[in-house]
């Protein structure tokens, strides 16, 4: 039962054919120290026995079984009306949690009613070993909507152990007030995955709430354990680019769009030219596909834009003040020049210009 000390938290995991990961992930959920939570497993039509595994080993967990794979975004939305908590904590099955993670997140959210989203510090799991290497401590954006994880690849020495505003929270580690979702809406279902968390976090900022990171709350992440198995390199670039463009179109003011879009398209043309030059035409074409996808859905996007702008509480001066001005695509191209002769370039090519880091490889 919910009380003032321990508000109910609904922990939501969206999975598709992820039984092998669930076997590692769910014990850390079951072992959380927080006293008042429910777990909702949204299964997107798995055929690997995921649902049966959860029912057998975790009978107290709720299961929402979709007949088909709705994608991460719409799968997450399905859980919203089912969730009873004051807070929804969206998680991913490629993560293992510190047992006090929910306690720290709730404490931070309860400290300020204007916090709409609170995210965590993520360290990495490498070769099934928990390591003190940062995956992210919240995330920044450049003015063109491309992400940059705070602290990525750094050894965790506590250098980012302070709570602060961030541009967005990764969707697999996001605690959000359920009543905020009544204002902003949930994830854009057309996104499937990638940049859906950027879009939602952006809307939370526009609604006048804050997105913060609480490093006391931490977890360990198996990088690309899920997405890497379901989408090839060109598909990831296509989905990421199309969703980023739609996010810009929905969330920026008209005046800012007139400035941003020409430079955005110039950067995209340069990126496509680069991939053609290095013999990756499929990745290059993904940019054209992303533009076409948005043109086909422009009317729908404009309707969504009208809805977003209707609940806007802050101007773009505030949004832009938080953003990096130097394009992330340029930064990563400079990384390419530095690392192009190393084996790690192969991994970098997997996500293309706009990837988080060369050193992930």
Q: In the chain, where are the structural domains located?
A: 9-228, 232-360
Within 8 A by CB and 6+ apart from 63, the residues are: 40, 41, 43, 51, 54, 55
What's the Cα-to-Cα distance from 16 to each of 92, 173, 235, 286, rounded to whole Å?
11, 18, 18, 25
Rounded CA separation 178/221 (Å): 25
Rounded CA separation 40/78 (Å): 10
Looking at domain 9-228, which of 2.60.120.10, 3.10.450.50, 2.60.40.1170, 3.90.550.10 is its CATH number?
3.90.550.10
Quickly list H helices, 11-70.
Answer: 19-30, 50-57
What's the Cα-to-Cα distance from 70 to each of 59, 96, 142, 179, 193, rounded to whole Å?
24, 24, 29, 24, 10
3-state DSSP assignment of residue 317: helix
Residue with tokens 């293992």, as numbered in its chain: 96
**Positive or negative: CA dihedral 15, 21, 24, 25:** negative
pLDDT of 227 reads 55
pLDDT in tens, the chain (361 residues): 344 579 999 999 999 999 999 999 999 999 999 999 999 999 999 999 999 999 999 999 999 999 999 999 999 999 999 999 999 999 999 999 999 999 999 999 999 999 999 999 999 999 889 999 999 999 999 999 999 999 999 999 999 999 999 999 999 999 999 999 999 999 999 998 999 999 999 999 999 999 999 999 999 999 765 555 556 889 999 999 999 999 999 999 999 999 999 999 999 999 999 999 989 999 999 999 999 999 999 999 999 999 999 999 999 999 999 999 999 988 888 888 888 777 655 555 544 444 444 333 3
Q: How many CB atoms lie within 10 A of CB 337?
A: 8
Which pTM value belongs to this model? 0.92
């Amino acid at each position: 039962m919910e009380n003032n000390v321990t508000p109910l938290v609904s922990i939501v995991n969206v999975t598709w054919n992820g039984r092998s990961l669930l076997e590692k992930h769910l014990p850390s959920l079951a072992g959380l120290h927080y006293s008042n939570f429910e777990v909702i497993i949204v299964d997107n039509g798995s055929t690997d026995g995921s649902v049966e595994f959860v029912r057998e080993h975790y009978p107290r967990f709720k299961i929402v079984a979709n007949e088909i794979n709705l994608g991460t975004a719409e799968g997450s939305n399905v859980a919203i009306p089912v969730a009873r908590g004051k807070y929804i904590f969206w998680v991913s099955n490629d993560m293992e949690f510190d047992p006090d993670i929910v306690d720290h997140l709730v404490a931070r959210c309860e400290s300020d009613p204007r916090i709409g989203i609170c995210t965590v510090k993520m360290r990495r799991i490498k070769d099934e070993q928990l390591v003190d290497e940062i995956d992210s401590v919240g995330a920044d954006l450049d003015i063109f909507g491309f992400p940059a994880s705070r602290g990525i690849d750094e050894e965790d020495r506590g250098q980012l152990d302070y709570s602060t505003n961030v541009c967005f929270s990764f969707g697999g580690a996001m605690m959000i007030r359920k009543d905020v979702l009544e204002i902003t809406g949930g994830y854009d279902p057309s996104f499937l995955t990638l940049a859906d968390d950027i879009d939602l976090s952006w809307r939370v900022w526009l609604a006048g709430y804050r997105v913060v990171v609480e490093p006391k709350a931490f977890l360990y992440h198996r990088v690309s354990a899920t997405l890497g198995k379901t989408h090839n390199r060109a598909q990831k670039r296509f989905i990421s680019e199309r969703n980023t463009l739609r996010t810009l179109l929905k969330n920026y003011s008209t005046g800012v769009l007139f400035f941003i879009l020409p430079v955005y398209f110039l950067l995209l043309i340069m990126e496509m030219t680069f991939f053609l030059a290095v013999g990756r035409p499929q990745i290059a074409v993904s940019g054209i596909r992303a533009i076409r996808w948005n043109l086909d859905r422009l009317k729908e996007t404009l309707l969504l834009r009208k809805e977003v702008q209707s609940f806007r509480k802050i101007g773009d001066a505030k949004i832009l003040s938080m953003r990096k001005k130097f394009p992330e695509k340029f930064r990563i191209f400079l990384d390419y020049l530095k690392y192009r002769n190393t084996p790690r370039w192969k991994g970098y090519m997997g996500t293309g210009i706009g990837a988080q880091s060369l050193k992930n490889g």
